[in-house]
Structure 1
Amino acid sequence: MTASATVLLDVDGTLIDSFPGIREGFVRALKSVGHPLPDDEFIARIPGPPMRDSMYAAGLNGDEVARAMLVYSEYMSGEGWRRFTVFDGMLELIEGWKADGLGVVTATSKSEHFARLALEETGMWPHLDFLGAANYDAGRITKIDVIRHVLDSVDPARPLMVGDRIHDFHGAAEFGIPSVAVTWGYGTPEEWAEATHIAHTPDELDEIVRNHVAAQ
């Protein structure tokens, strides 16, 4: 990429609030295999990590996860992926970064299929240089896998990872990439502390990104 710097964006909890659809899909999936639901605190943390990881963490075994994922995917392919809202200011930030010559890509644990559907619906898709997303069949499952895929595919200039969960910050650190925690997502203060920077508002995020560009 020829941009002076590149913003790597998580999707769920960073660009969009997709919790309503993800929660409903998770609940339906666990009920389909007769597994008891975990408490609300656990469910509040399912956006972000790979869904299979959340199901294993909820106590499902391998066979149950395989069957539950079929139900989850079926629901998300229908109404589930549509149940989201865009966080205020995020579309405008992406438009501004692109207009000023920054690279903008995603690095999400959301599947390629559902990530593209959501990003097209938001109007963000035309402003993205690359879709970095999970692909279970390709063995691209963890956030580290996804970030490696982005780095290998587009060789982004001076990347900066923006996300809301600890997987984003640890994934970035694996490659020596600085990170920004956004507090409007699904993370906790303990998770945000693992990031290089913390943004409480879109304006603060924009300032951090601009300072990153200026520091080259």
Structure 2
Amino acid sequence: MQDYIILDYDGTLHDTMHIYKKAFLEAYAWLVQEGRAKEREFADAQISCWLGYNSRVMWDAFMPELEESFKLQASSMIGESMVRQIADGRAVLYPGAREAMDGLREQGFRLIFLSNCKEAYMKAHRACFGLDTYFDAFYCCETYQFIPKSEIIPKIIKDNPGRYLAAGDRATDYEAASQNQIPFIGCTYGFGTTEELICAQRLANDVSDLPKCAEKLLHLSI
């Protein structure tokens, strides 16, 4: 039976704040300019807390009173800024991410990309980092009208029958795996809190821990 591991991307392989902070602040400044938000300062933690959510959930939680047209425009601005920054070489994988993906593949895992991102963002990263070298399949929430990851995973399993593990840095990643009875590795080095990952079957404190955690978790699940 083929072994697969579903990997979240932002906060699991990609150190997203290198490009997200600038994009977020640009979009918020535009909302201030348009009279739709008040000027304020943001700590990094107040920005990074939104990483891992799809754009619709993020804006509905961050500024629920904002008109839908402005949410959509601000979301587009963030996405476009991040894609530009990727093209400019500003995006950064966590040190050791490539080696971790190589290690997983050497253990016999096929890698599945699953992110709450948009298609243009995913495509930009595939080109920038040569992700097709590592991943056997790519899935993002925009392709499925921004439904939760928990509802995308059954489609992944249908497309790629086998035995599964999953890894990610947010509660949404754990919940998606748990709802599909998939053992989960919580990535504590990402953008989630310790509390979000407390129920994970294994914890990776560095991206380099992923192959070791996956090997141990797979043996337990057999």
TM-score with structure 2 setting the length: 0.85
Separation of aligned partners in 2, 1:203 and 1:44 = 22
Separation of aligned partners in 2, 1:71 and 1:147 = 28
Farther-moved stretch of structure 1 (79-88 vs 173-182):
79-88
Residues 166 and 194 in structure 1, CA contact (< 8 A), matched pair in contact too: no
Residues 169 and 188 in structure 2, CA contact (< 8 A), matched pair in contact too: yes
Following TM superposition, by how much is the alpha carbon of 1:14 offset from its aligned partner in structure 2, in angstroms? Answer: 0.4
1:54 aligns with 2:53: no
> What does the per-residue CA deviation read over 1:9-28, in whole Å, with 9 as the maximum and x for residues that have no partner?
00000001011211222222
Question: Residue 146 of structure 1 corresponds to which residue in structure 2?
Answer: 152
1:44 aligns with 2:42: no
SS in 2 for 1:161: strand
Q: Could you tell me which amino acid in structure 2 is paired with residue 55 of structure 1?
A: W
Give the counterpart of 1:21 among 13, 19, 22: 19
Cα separation, partners in 2 of 1:89 and 1:20, compared to 1, 3 Å: closer
SS in 1 for 2:117: strand
Question: Residue 185 of structure 1 corresponds to which residue in structure 2?
Answer: 190
Following TM superposition, by how much is the alpha carbon of 1:85 offset from its aligned partner in structure 2, in angstroms? Answer: 1.2
How many residue pairs were aligned? Answer: 212
SS in 1 for 2:182: coil
Which consecutive residues of structure 2, in runs of 5 or more, have no partner in the other structure?
none
Separation of aligned partners in 1, 2:197 and 2:136 = 27
Q: Could you tell me which amino acid in structure 1 is paired with residue 49 of structure 2?
A: R
> What does the per-residue CA deviation read over 1:93-144, in whole Å, with 9 as the maximum and x for residues that have no partner?
21122233211111111223312321332233212110021215x4144222
Separation of aligned partners in 2, 1:162 and 1:20 = 21
SS in 1 for 2:19: helix
Following TM superposition, by how much is the alpha carbon of 1:80 offset from its aligned partner in structure 2, in angstroms? Answer: 5.2
Give the counterpart of 1:212 among 213, 217, 221: 217
Residues 12 and 207 in structure 2, CA contact (< 8 A), matched pair in contact too: no
Following TM superposition, by how much is the alpha carbon of 1:203 offset from its aligned partner in structure 2, in angstroms? Answer: 4.4
SS in 2 for 1:12: coil
Which consecutive residues of structure 1, in runs of 5 or more, have no partner in the other structure?
none
Residues 140 and 146 in structure 1, CA contact (< 8 A), matched pair in contact too: no
Farther-moved stretch of structure 1 (120-129 vs 30-39):
30-39
1:198 aligns with 2:212: no
Q: Could you tell me which amino acid in structure 2 is paired with residue 113 of structure 1?
A: A
SS in 1 for 2:138: coil
Residues 91 and 123 in structure 1, CA contact (< 8 A), matched pair in contact too: no
Give the counterpart of 1:170 among 175, 180, 195: 175
Give the counterpart of 1:66 among 50, 72, 81: 72
Q: Could you tell me which amino acid in structure 2 is paired with residue 133 of structure 1?
A: C
Residues 122 and 140 in structure 2, CA contact (< 8 A), matched pair in contact too: yes
Farther-moved stretch of structure 1 (92-101 vs 44-53):
92-101
Q: How does 1:73-152 map to 2 (within 5 A)?
A: 73-79=79-85, 82-135=89-142, 138-152=144-158
User: Which structure 1 residue ranges, 4+ long, deviate > 6 Å from structure 2?
Assistant: none
Residues 83 and 124 in structure 2, CA contact (< 8 A), matched pair in contact too: no
TM-score with structure 1 setting the length: 0.87
Residues 114 and 138 in structure 2, CA contact (< 8 A), matched pair in contact too: yes
Q: Could you tell me which amino acid in structure 1 is paired with residue 26 of structure 2?
A: R
Farther-moved stretch of structure 1 (64-73 vs 9-18):
64-73
Question: Residue 9 of structure 2 corresponds to which residue in structure 1?
Answer: 11
SS in 2 for 1:15: coil
Residues 54 and 146 in structure 2, CA contact (< 8 A), matched pair in contact too: no
Cα separation, partners in 2 of 1:202 and 1:69, compared to 1, 3 Å: closer
